Chain A
Amino acid sequence: MDEIKDGLSEIECDVLVIGGGTAGPMAAYKAKMKNPDAKVVLLEKANVKRSGAISMGMDGLNNAVIPGHSTPEQYTKEITIANDGICDQAAVYKYAQHCYEIIEELDKFGIRFQKDENGDYDVKKVHHIGTYVLPMPNGETVKKALYRQLRRARILISNRFMATRLLKGRSGRIAGAVAVNTRTAEFLVVRAKSVIMSMGAAGRLGLPTSGYLYGTYENAANSGEGYAMAYHAGAKLANLECFQINPLIKDYNGPSCAYVAGPFGGFTANSRGERFIECDYWSGQMMQEFYNELLSGNGPVFLKLNHLHKETADHIEQILHTVERPSRGRFHEGRGTRYHETMIEMHISEIGFCSGHSASGVFVDDCARTTVPGLYAAGDMASVPHNYMLGAFTNGAFAGEDAVAFAGEVDFEDYDREEVAREQERVLAPTRREDGIPPNQIEYKARRLVNDYLQPPKVTRKYELGQARLAEVRDDMENHMVARDAHELMRAMEVTSILDCADMAAFASLYREESRWGLYHWRTDHPERNDEEWKCHVLLSKQDGRMTCEKHPVQPYIVPISEEEKDAYYKQRIKAEA
């Protein structure tokens, strides 16, 4: 395995789904269910059985809008407020209206949600107004259950193919994608009438403080190809300056899950064991508080459970150590930490792009359509804010249904064969060199620079220096990167996405001349929020081969927000500083 082979196959399908993590399987499934005659292909860099953020399940649904516990209006309001008003509500509202159907469908698939003794969903409160958290303490088999459905529906799965570029026709419509096998370097060209991208977050953008390239918060296979591919295909990307930064267990770099611990009475505390944030719901404001506390004399920050009954703390431990990131247990064991005895040291994550937790991504409407006809995006890489897992499933479903309808109305779009040849050359270039710089070194350096220069607080001068340094690394990457086998070639291609994402992160951040979303976009040269100038989306795209940004209005709200509610998050900050 891993030797580089010379090969190319071409296949045709109605709907191509790229990325078989969370949104992707649901998109493929829904497309096939809506039109069983359609040929649906699911392409995955890893293996659909255990790929993506949910490879070992999740602690719970973070944003379940369940009748009797919360309403779509309430949810839409909360998400709008948590995003400082920059929110096209149509997609959020539509999600909120339909996500319960998806929960019921997932339940039928055999995905295990927590139920009370009467078999009803056991919803918990974490957010400001409504009640949205539905635990899944036994949810480690979620991918198995999805895979089973895909196999039953006879969906064609191509594992170990990494998509590298999208193909477009002369008309500007989508024509397919190019992928490369991660174990043989053989090429697969997929002609498709519509394409759904669900390649997850850009999780390898910043470098974890451990220095381990794969010690990321996100599944490390999610290196940002989705963003890079959308960019090179001319699709617009929204609000990339709204970074993802998460509060995590220090060094382990996985969530300590206030969502799990919260309903039991656990919370995020400072070194005195006192709470310092109003609400453990992850938002830019909350992260700002967290950051301030870390740096203040009250730091570091901890997850506090040692005031709970030992039985309760043990129960939380048992959940956290079996699902989602089950190696948490091993980590704590190595350090000799028990939740009922000591508080758990926390830290903040490296930066990334992820709408699942913040709001940036490929710009989509309420049917998951991007700005390129026939091209869709869903999940962590699409711009619907605070999506999380259920958002990935639900918007994946919308994407699948719309894409299969679109495919039914059009014929294949022609693409330029030359483009495929050029892409093959681009991909294989690192394999043609005798020696040079291996991808891991280029990646390390690029990501270290991201930490040094792009991590908030964002300082204009630092950003400019960072851009210059990253350009040097890009030059090394384009002219000196070497890959000796197919596996290393995958890493090399990942590096190209990482650098593209770093460039986009820097460019978008410099464009928005204000501060917004708490720590996510804290610009020291423009410390205030400026609603007059900047209460809009920033859309980044490639035009005539160059990166550009434009302002784009926020759609009129469907669910109005009163002045008082709007500032809920800001009051919190002022109060805390006082």
Chain B
Amino acid sequence: MTFEPFEAFSDVEDLAGKLRDPDPSVRRVAVMELADTADPEAVALVGGALKDGSAEVRLQAAIALGEFDGAETAACLVVGLVDDDPRVARAAADSLAELKDPVAADPVFPLVEHERPFVRAAALRALKELRRRESLAHGLRALDDPDAHVRIEAIGVIGYLKAEEALPALIASGKDEVPEVRRTAVGALAFARSSHAGEALMRALDDEDWSVREVAAEMLGKTGVTRAVAPLMARMDDRDWQVRVKVVRSLGQLHAVEAVPLIAAALGEEVSNLRKEAAAALGEIAHPSSRPYLERYADDPDPDVRKNVRWALGRIG
């Protein structure tokens, strides 16, 4: 006896018939099978299922569209995004965020003005990956949105476009009332090389929220803002050790020779993560003045600290 060993490519026409079945569960199964065809012909059918009377079928359709790309898929998902059933809308939002083809942005643009904040946020989230220049204006406008999630997604759109002209607006978002918005904005400034961005990052070092200070400290090193050495040094007394870790790392990255005594003092910290980072930073700066400090900690109980001390001493030569 012989048999067919290959996974079938189901016929889209047959499945279209199943989509008209009176039983919603059968329709639901048909939608899943349509997704598996990976056939562009299936998009319109699955899109049609987003108007099904059964919320379950619509949910399945919203998930299934995540398997496709392009403007037609986006146009279908836009329908799902405004669905009354929150599960359908959430699934549509997730599928929209999967889109990669820049043309998919066109049907999404109008939703940025939608009355529901959820829809506005989802639209911006989808636009982020698509990186279309036209999205910038939408993103900028949405920075003033009353809803924090929308503002966060708007920062995403702008950050991904790395648009220098949007810097003033991003900097302003660094003063947002919601910590998460501030943190996202500070993170998004990393691409900028302008002095204004540097100022904003330095200001964020004094933010009341630890996670904003942490990101700011990290970004200053990453972007090489040498003027930041003094404010970073001032942050070495941050009450939060996770912030101090980033401060130390950035001082290392900035080769801050003047910070050597301060960093060396961190070799005596209780949290070993900090001692390790301090040793690594001293290695990066590789200034002879740190030698005696490093030698004192060559026998640190923590092997990772010892390794970094060895490495640092090796760099000093």
Using CB atoms and an 8 Å cutoff, list the residues of chain A in contact with chain B. 5-9, 11, 41, 108, 110, 116-119, 144, 148, 151-152, 154, 156-159, 161, 184, 186, 188, 265, 267, 274-279, 307-309, 311-312, 572, 575-576
* Interface contact A158-B5, CB-CB below 8 Å: yes
Alpha-carbon separation in the docked complex, A184 to B4 (Å):
13
Q: What 0/1 readout, one digit per residue, does chain B (153-192) give for beta carbons within 8 Å of chain A?
A: 0011001101000000000000000000000100110110
Determine how close the nearest CB of chain A comes to the CB of B302; give it in whole angstroms.
5
> B156: which A residues are within 8 A, CB to CB?
117
* B307 interface residue per 8 A CB criterion: yes
The reply to whether B38 and A148 contact each other, CB–CB distance below 8 Å, is yes
Which residue of B has the minimal Cβ distance to A273?
A: B272
Give the top 9 A-B pairs by smallest Cβ distance, nearest first.
Answer: A151-B38, A117-B187, A119-B160, A117-B188, A7-B1, A117-B159, A278-B307, A9-B2, A157-B7
Q: Are B304 and A275 in contact (CB under 8 A)?
A: yes
State how many angstroms separate the Cβ of B133 from the closest Cβ of chain A.
Answer: 14
Cβ distance A217 to chain B, nearest Cβ, rounded Å: 25
Q: Is the CB of B159 within 8 A of A9?
A: no
Question: How many cross-chain pairs have Cβ atoms below 8 Å apart between A and B?
Answer: 94
Give residues 217-243 of B contacting A (CB, 8 Å): 240, 242
A465 to B211, CA, bound (A): 58
Count, chain B residues at interface, CB 8 A:
41
27 CB contacts below 8 A, A to B, read A7-B3, A8-B2, A41-B6, A108-B100, A116-B187, A117-B187, A118-B159, A118-B191, A119-B129, A119-B131, A119-B162, A144-B67, A148-B38, A151-B36, A157-B6, A158-B6, A158-B7, A188-B5, A265-B245, A274-B272, A278-B303, A279-B304, A279-B307, A309-B210, A309-B242, A312-B242, A576-B303
Q: B2 near A275 (CB under 8 angstroms)?
A: no
Contact status of A5 and B1, CB under 8 A, knowing A117-B188, A308-B242: yes
Given contacts A118-B190, A274-B301, contact A11 B306 (CB under 8 A): no
Q: Within residues 6 to 28 of chain B, which ones have a CB less than 8 A from any CB in chain A?
A: 6-7, 9
A274 to B36, CA, bound (A): 50
Complex interface: chain A residues within 8 A of B272 (CB): 274-275
In the complex, what residues of B have CB within 8 A of residue A312's CB?
242
Query: Contact: A274 with B100, CB < 8 Å?
Result: no
Which secondary structure dominates where chain B touches chain A? helix
How many angstroms between the C-alpha atoms of A5 and B1 in the bound complex? Answer: 9
| Distance between A420 CB and nearest chain B CB, rounded to angstroms | 14
Q: In the complex the two chains form, what is the Cα distance from A159 to B7 in whole Å? A: 7
- CA A157 – CA B4 in complex, angstroms? 11
A438 to chain B, nearest CB (A): 27
B128 at the interface (CB under 8 A from A): yes
Query: What's the least CB distance linking B250 to chain A, in Å?
Result: 14
Is the C-beta of B137 less than 8 angstroms from some C-beta in chain A?
A: no
Contact at B37–A151, with CB atoms within 8 Å? yes
Complex CA gap A184/B2 in Å reads: 12
State whether the Cβ of B72 lies closer than 8 Å to any Cβ in chain A.
no
When chains A and B are docked, how far (Å) is the Cα of A7 from the Cα of B162?
61
Cα–Cα, bound, A265→B246 (Å): 11
- Tell me the nearest residue of chain B to A6, going by C-beta: B1
Q: Is the beta-carbon distance between B303 and A267 smaller than 8 angstroms? A: no
B98 at the interface (CB under 8 A from A): yes
Q: How far is the CA of A267 from the CA of B307 in the complex (A)?
A: 15
Instruction: Pick from B100, B131, B302 the residue with the most CB of A within 10 Å.
Output: B302
Q: Are A265 and B242 in contact (CB under 8 A)?
A: yes
Q: How far is the CB of B26 from chain A (nearest CB, A)?
A: 21
Q: Is B271 among interface residues, defined by CB-CB distance under 8 A? A: yes
In the complex, what residues of B have CB within 8 A of residue A274's CB?
272, 301-302
**Any A CB within 8 A of the CB of B273:** yes
For the complex formed, measure the closest distance between the CB of B55 and the CB atoms of chain A, giving whole angstroms.
23
A116–B190 CB distance below 8 A = yes
Return chain B residues, CB-CB under 8 Å to A307: 271, 273
Rounded to whole angstroms, the CA-CA distance of A118 and B190 in the bound complex is 7
- Docked CA distance A117–B19 (Å): 41
Candidate in B129, B245, B272 with the most chain A CB atoms within 10 angstroms: B272
- In the complex, A186→B3 CA distance in Å? 9
The answer to whether A118 and B160 touch (CB under 8 A), given A265-B245, A274-B302, A575-B306, is yes
Which residues of B from 31 to 57 have beta carbons under 8 Å from A?
Answer: 36-38
Given A9-B2, A572-B303, list of 18 further CB < 8 A pairs?
A: A8-B1, A9-B3, A117-B156, A117-B190, A118-B159, A118-B160, A118-B190, A118-B191, A119-B129, A119-B159, A159-B7, A274-B302, A275-B272, A278-B307, A279-B307, A311-B211, A312-B242, A576-B303
Contact with A along B106-133 (1 / 0, CB 8 A): 0000000000000000000000110100
Contacts of B184 in A (CB 8 A): 117
CB distance from B294 to the nearest CB of A (A): 16
- What distance in Å separates the Cβ of B35 from its nearest Cβ neighbour in chain A? 9
What chain B residues lie within 8 Å of A156 (beta carbons)?
6-7
**What's the least CB distance linking B223 to chain A, in Å?**
11
Alpha-carbon distance between A575 and B302 when the two chains are bound, in angstroms: 11
B196 to chain A, nearest CB (A): 17
Taking CB atoms, residues of chain A closer than 8 Å to B301 are 274
B98's nearest neighbour on chain A, judged by CB, is A110
B186 to chain A, nearest CB (A): 8
Q: If A117-B155, A265-B273, A309-B210 touch, does A572 touch B307 (CB 8 Å cutoff)? A: yes
